[in-house]
């Protein structure tokens, strides 16, 4: 089996002045996997991702990037191995697409941070990978939501990470862009990346992820292969809704549909 | 907007700003309420005369230190304004948003209100020391309010700074009311901001605080570029956001407190100059910060030239000029954006 690129061990967390807690979550992300993190609102998906990325510090437990505890690792070094796409992305100024992607080279820049030839080559590669090369000179405000998400992804890929953590990257995107984005993630995973995606869309998760982790109220309910997690009784219990779980007629993967009462 | 991610463009833009600032810096000491003979000054300096003519004395001990002061203070205020507009994510942020200006003014006004209080400590006068103390108290207050487990909350910083500013605006009239009426003129004059300085000893008071403060800010250009993408995105890219915000806040507070203690509150320089530089050179903070320093310095020096020539032989406080010029400038800027 592949080695674990990101290991989360028994992590606990709670926000100040709130009773809610993230309790004893452990997970392993190995190279070539795409893990979907699913669960109702407030289940702790985003929080778990933030802790995994080192944005929040857990109250107990540890996060290992490769073999190193990220608590003591300098941010630059973390960024060279792990890319994090937050849920809310915005920009104070209207940059060009190419500039945003170039910013992702930060972990490798020194001094005033001017890019060298090799850096620009990597920027080119990321623009290619995310298929946004034709937009390189456009301002990010001129792009659609789907195109903009690709720009953020390209910017993170410029860090040359081996692990990718994405927080609801396709919320608000139309079907075409959702499918295109997940297709891109699938390709990256096939090329060796370890990816964890928080998503609300159970069907997208079912189609593209290999493994899933289901959270509720800060606890892990179940994790495993897609077919093991997407079961009607488990999901109905967690989402408090009657659901129908079937098989996709084309590829046999599980699909989830609500049942109107 | 221009792409400034190449070293060549950066150097060229920087050189342009440097040239413009140098021009102002070299011409400014020759202009003033009293006309001085350039020939006489040059002869005195090059001839190394033991006894300097009045013209040369004015040039060396009044004009040059004043221009130097104007440059350093104007530059510092503009850099602080640029940094604050990024970390507070607010285009209207200015050095006074940190509350240092208000708190320092309270300190200074208290010092002026105390009769017979005239001492000095090193290069600092009593008014300067009290102003620095006032800023220090304000800084502590804001830091206590805004600090979190990891770093400083920028939202709380903004609110706390504005609140301190408002509080101080109320405390100062109270002090003036309670003080001896003879002191009121001195207090008012201080509050208008002025670059009148004689000799170089007072300038030395800037060096322990203002110069390191500005220096630390000028190094944050690349980090600030990332912070404009949001704190989480910047963290993801590898920027130590908490450290950058902490440094920016403390260095900015230091530089502002130092500037205010020396010249009193001067508004609009720190608010407007960053906008102008961003319009001229784009958003890359690696050019905005040094550009703002050079342009802010030149701007304040130019305002001071007006201040000391427009009602010659007397002088106007430079704070009035920056407000008169700055206000309409800003309105034009806003109208253009529409």
Which domains are seen in chain B, by residue range?
Answer: 7-337 (1.10.3470.10)
> CA gyration radius for chain A?
19
Q: Are A136 and A123 in contact (CB under 8 A)?
A: no
Residue with tokens 């699913």: A38
Local confidence band at B37 (pLDDT 50, 70, 90 cut-offs)? confident
In a 3-state reduction of DSSP, which class is residue A15?
A: coil
Percentage of chain B beyond pLDDT 90 is 62
CB contact under 8 A, A114 and B5: yes
Q: Are B98 and B249 in contact (CB under 8 A)?
A: yes
Percentage of chain B beyond pLDDT 70 is 98
CB contact under 8 A, A86 and B89: no
Q: What is the pLDDT of residue B44?
A: 78
- Which residues of chain A make contact with B228, given a CB cutoff of 8 A? 91-93
Question: Which residue ranges does chain A devote to CATH 3.40.50.300?
Answer: 4-81+162-258
Q: What is the pLDDT of residue B330?
A: 77
Q: What region does A206 belong to: left with phi over 0, alpha with psi -120 to 50, or beta?
A: alpha
Q: Among B29, B25, B6, which residue's Cα sits nearest to residue B17?
A: B25
Q: What is the pLDDT of residue A261?
A: 79
Q: What is the pLDDT of residue B338?
A: 59
Say which of A76, A100, A114 has its CB closest to residue B238. A76
Instruction: Tell whether the model's pLDDT for residue B18 goes beyond 90.
Output: yes
Residue B241 C-alpha, separation from nearest chain A C-alpha, in angstroms: 9
Q: What is the pLDDT of residue B304?
A: 94
Instruction: Tell whether the model's pLDDT for residue B196 goes beyond 90.
Output: no
Q: Is the dihedral of CA B200, B202, B208, B212 positive or negative?
A: negative
Angle (CA) B143 B144 B145, round 5°? 90
Question: Nearest residue of B to residue A106 by CA position?
Answer: B237
Which of A232-236, B167-171, B204-208, B221-225 is least confident? B204-208
Q: Where are the beta strands (DSSP E) in chain B?
A: 120-121, 124-125
Instruction: Tell whether the model's pLDDT for residue B228 goes beyond 50.
Output: yes
Q: What is the pLDDT of residue B1?
A: 41
Q: For residue B229, how far is the Cα from the chain centroid?
A: 27
Instruction: Tell whether the model's pLDDT for residue A254 goes beyond 60.
Output: yes
Question: Which token pair is B5?
Answer: 């991610």
- Which residues of chain A make contact with B237, given a CB cutoff of 8 A? 79, 103-104, 106-107, 155-156, 159
Residue A226, CA distances (Å) to A36, A91, B333 in order: 9, 35, 56
Residue B230 C-alpha, separation from nearest chain A C-alpha, in angstroms: 6
Residue A82, CA distances (Å) to A95, A128, B118, B277, B295 in order: 24, 20, 59, 35, 40
Per-residue pLDDT of A49-73, as tens digits, reads: 999 999 999 999 999 998 899 988 9
- Residue B86 contacts A, CB cutoff 8 Å: yes
Q: What's the topology of domain A4-81+162-258?
A: Rossmann fold (3.40.50)
**ipTM of model:** 0.92
Section A15-42 average pLDDT:
90
Say which of B5, B221, B238 has its CB closest to residue A107. B238
Instruction: Tell whether the model's pLDDT for residue A249 goes beyond 70.
Output: yes
Section B115-144 average pLDDT:
88
Question: Which token pair is B262?
Answer: 């020396």
Question: Which token pair is B26?
Answer: 């070299």
Question: Which token pair is B131?
Answer: 């102003």
Section B276-281 average pLDDT:
90
Q: What is the pLDDT of residue B61?
A: 86
Q: What pairing do the DSSP bridges indicate for beta strands A82-85 and B124-125?
A: unpaired
Question: If you count residue pairs, one on A and one on B, with CB atoms under 8 Å apart, how many are there?
Answer: 95
Concatenated DSSP letters of B191-239: HH------SSTTGGGGTTTHHHHHHHHHTTHHHHHHHTT-HHHHHHHT-
Per-residue pLDDT of B322-335, as tens digits, reads: 989 888 887 887 78
Q: Which of B237, B282, B337 to mutate to test the interface with A (most CBs of A within 10 A)?
A: B237
Local confidence band at B5 (pLDDT 50, 70, 90 cut-offs)? low
CB contact under 8 A, A88 and B239: no
Q: Are A147 and A153 in contact (CB under 8 A)?
A: no
b (16+ CB within 10 A) / e for A200-210: ebbbbbbbbbe
DSSP state of B63: I
Residue with tokens 């080279």: A105
- Which residues of chain A make contact with B226, given a CB cutoff of 8 A? 103, 106
Say how far apart CA B3 and CA B12 lie, in whole Å: 13
Say which of B3, B228, B240 has its CB closest to residue A91. B228
Per-residue pLDDT of B297-321, as tens digits, reads: 999 999 999 998 888 788 889 999 9
Say how far apart CA B151 and CA B87 lie, in whole Å: 13
User: What's phi and psi for A194, nearest 5 deg?
Assistant: -100, 120
Say how far apart CA B223 and CA A165 lie, in whole Å: 22
CB contact under 8 A, A112 and B10: yes
Instruction: Report chain A's mean pLDDT, rounded to a whole number.
Output: 92
CB within 8 A of A17, min separation 6: which ones?
none
- Residue B148 contacts A, CB cutoff 8 Å: no
Q: Which residues pair with B120 in a beta bridge?
A: B125
Q: Are B330 and B105 in contact (CB under 8 A)?
A: no
CB contact under 8 A, A159 and B237: yes
Residue with tokens 């130097």: B68
Local confidence band at A2 (pLDDT 50, 70, 90 cut-offs)? low
Q: Among A215, A225, A221, A219, which residue's Cα sits nearest to residue A35?
A: A225
Q: What is the pLDDT of residue B34?
A: 77
Per-residue pLDDT of B90-127, as tens digits, reads: 988 999 999 999 999 999 999 999 887 778 777 788 89
Q: Taking the CB of residue B47, how many other CB atoms lie within 10 A of it?
A: 8
Q: What is the pLDDT of residue A172?
A: 85
Bond before A51 cis per omega within 30 degrees: no
Instruction: Tell whether the model's pLDDT for residue A32 goes beyond 90.
Output: yes
- Which residues of chain B make contact with A94, given a CB cutoff of 8 A? 1, 283
Q: Taking the CB of residue A20, how many other CB atoms lie within 10 A of it?
A: 14
Q: Where are the beta strands (DSSP E) in A88-186?
A: 163-167
């Amino acid at each position: 089996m592949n080695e674990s690129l990101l290991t989360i061990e028994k992590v606990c967390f709670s926000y100040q002045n709130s009773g809610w807690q993230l309790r004893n979550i452990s997970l392993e992300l190995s190279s070539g996997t795409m893990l979907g993190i699913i669960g109702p609102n407030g289940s702790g998906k985003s929080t778990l991702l933030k802790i995994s990325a080192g944005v929040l510090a857990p109250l107990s437990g540890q996060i290992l990037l490769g073999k190193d505890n990220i608590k003591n690792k300098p941010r630059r070094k973390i960024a060279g191995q792990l890319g994090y796409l937050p849920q809310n992305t915005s920009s104070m100024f209207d940059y060009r697409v190419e500039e945003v992607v170039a910013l992702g080279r930060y972990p490798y820049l020194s001094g005033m941070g001017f890019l060298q030839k090799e850096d620009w080559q990597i920027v080119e590669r990321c623009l290619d990978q995310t298929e946004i090369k034709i937009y390189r000179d456009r301002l990010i405000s001129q792009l659609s939501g789907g195109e903009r998400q690709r720009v953020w992804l390209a910017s993170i890929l410029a860090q040359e990470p081996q692990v990718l953590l994405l927080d609801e990257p396709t919320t608000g995107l139309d079907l075409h862009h959702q499918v295109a984005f997940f297709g891109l993630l699938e390709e990256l995973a096939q090329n060796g990346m370890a990816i964890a995606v928080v998503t609300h869309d159970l069907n997208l998760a079912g189609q593209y992820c290999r493994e899933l982790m289901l959270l509720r109220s800060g606890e892990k309910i179940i994790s495993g292969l897609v077919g093991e997690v997407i079961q009607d009784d488990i999901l109905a219990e967690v989402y408090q809704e009657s659901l129908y779980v079937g098989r996709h007629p084309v590829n046999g993967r599980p699909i989830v549909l609500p049942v109107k009462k | 907007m221009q792409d400034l991610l190449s070293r060549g463009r950066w150097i060229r833009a920087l050189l342009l700003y440097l040239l413009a600032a140098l021009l102002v810096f070299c011409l400014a000491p020759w202009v003033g309420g009293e006309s001085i003979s350039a020939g006489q000054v040059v002869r005195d300096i090059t001839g190394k005369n033991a006894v300097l003519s009045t013209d040369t004395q004015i040039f060396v001990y009044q004009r040059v230190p004043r221009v130097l002061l104007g440059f350093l203070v104007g530059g510092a205020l503009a850099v602080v304004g640029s940094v604050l507009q990024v970390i507070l994510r607010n285009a209207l942020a200015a050095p006074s948003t940190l509350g240092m200006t208000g708190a320092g003014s309270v300190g200074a006004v208290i010092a002026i209100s105390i009769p017979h209080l005239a001492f000095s400590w090193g290069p600092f006068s009593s008014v300067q020391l009290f102003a620095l103390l006032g800023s220090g108290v304000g800084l502590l207050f804001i830091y206590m309010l805004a600090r979190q487990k990891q770093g400083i909350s920028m939202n709380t910083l903004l609110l706390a700074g504005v609140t301190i500013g408002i509080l101080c605006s109320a405390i100062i009239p109270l002090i003036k009311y309670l003080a001896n009426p003879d002191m009121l003129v001195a207090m008012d004059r201080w509050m208008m901001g002025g670059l009148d300085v004689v000799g170089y000893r007072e300038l030395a008071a800037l060096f322990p605080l203002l110069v390191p403060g500005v220096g630390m800010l000028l190094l944050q250009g690349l980090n600030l570029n990332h912070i404009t993408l949001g704190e989480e995105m910047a963290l993801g890219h590898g920027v130590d956001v908490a450290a950058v915000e902490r440094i920016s806040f403390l260095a900015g507070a230091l530089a502002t407190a130092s500037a205010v203690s020396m010249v009193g509150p001067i508004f609009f320089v720190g608010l407007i100059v960053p906008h102008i530089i961003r319009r001229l050179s784009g958003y890359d903070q690696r050019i905005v910060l040094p550009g703002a320093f050079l342009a802010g310095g030149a701007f304040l020096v130019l305002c001071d030239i007006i201040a000391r020539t427009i009602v010659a032989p007397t002088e106007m406080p430079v704070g009035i000029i920056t407000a008169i010029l700055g206000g309409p400038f800003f309105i034009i800027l806003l109208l253009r954006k529409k």
